[in-house]
């Protein structure tokens, strides 16, 4: 199982599709289209942050359970980011109150425990991803990509609070997320620097895919789980 991580606008889904295609699987995507709370959250974060985080958590939980039935899976967002980045930021900036935050953390922990229990029943699979691919670079590049993809509710023109949210989110990824993730020894990490690597450049794509394969081989002992048989 490979899972991607990164701030809003980093390019996780685009790179996830490339990686999934390389491994011959479909990408399990974060549910944006049809999400009943996403646009509402951007309009009124304080009212809808808890709803949105629970919605994403439930979707991610179902996606991981489904992924466990396949030997090779690529997900475009990790469940670890839900608590370590997004819910935490909503609490720190006042969009979630303490009761909502504690309820969310308890729900997250219960779901993680169920996943661990399910993994324990499948000897060939681990309770964590085989690799986390962090898609990261400068805030300026992420903002450029947000503007380019053009979702109206994501645009910062005339909305200084939204820009501050993006900046705070970015700062967690830049300064804390990777350190906390590695300290928990969840999985190996491969980093794609979006300021230096261009997805439209075949040489860059080959470099990334080769790096992912080498990291899997070095850290996990295999590139494809079938090699363990």
pLDDT tens per residue across span 149-159:
999 999 999 89
Annotated domain spans of the chain: 2-7+24-228
Average pLDDT, the chain: 90
Q: Does 97 participate in catalysis according to the annotation?
A: no
> Distance between CA atoms of 144 and 163, rounded to whole angstroms?
12
Three-state secondary structure string covering 98-145: HHHHHHHHHHHHHHHHHHHHHHHCCCCCCCCCCEEEEEECCHHHHHHH
CATH class, range 2-7+24-228: alpha beta
Whole-model pTM: value is 0.89
Beta strands in the chain (DSSP E): 2-5, 27-28, 74-75, 131-136, 189-193
Model confidence over 2-45: pLDDT tens digits? 999 999 999 999 999 999 999 998 898 887 888 999 999 999 99
Catalytic site residue from 21, 76, 130, 193:
76
């Amino acid at each position: 199982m490979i899972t991607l991580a990164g701030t809003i606008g980093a390019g996780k889904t685009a790179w996830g599709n490339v990686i999934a295609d390389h491994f011959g699987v479909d990408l399990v995507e974060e549910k944006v289209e049809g999400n009943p709370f996403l646009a509402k959250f951007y309009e009124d974060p304080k009212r809808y942050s808890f709803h949105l985080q629970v919605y994403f958590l439930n979707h991610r939980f179902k996606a991981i359970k489904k992924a466990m039935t396949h030997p090779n899976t690529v997900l475009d967002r990790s469940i670890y980011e839900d608590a370590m980045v997004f819910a935490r930021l909503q609490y720190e900036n006042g969009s979630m109150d303490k009761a909502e935050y504690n309820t969310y953390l308890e729900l997250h922990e219960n779901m993680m425990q169920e996943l661990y229990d399910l993994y324990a029943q499948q000897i060939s699979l681990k309770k964590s991803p085989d690799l986390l691919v962090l898609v990261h670079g400068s805030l300026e590049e992420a903002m450029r990509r947000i503007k380019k993809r053009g979702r109206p509710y994501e645009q910062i023109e005339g909305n200084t609070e939204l820009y501050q949210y993006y900046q705070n989110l970015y700062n967690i990824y830049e300064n804390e997320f990777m350190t906390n993730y590695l300290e928990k020894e969840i999985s190996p990490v491969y980093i794609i620097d979006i300021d230096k690597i261009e997805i439209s450049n075949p040489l860059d794509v080959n470099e990334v895919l080769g790096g992912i394969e080498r990291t899997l081989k070095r850290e996990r002992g295999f590139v494809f789980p079938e090699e363990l048989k």
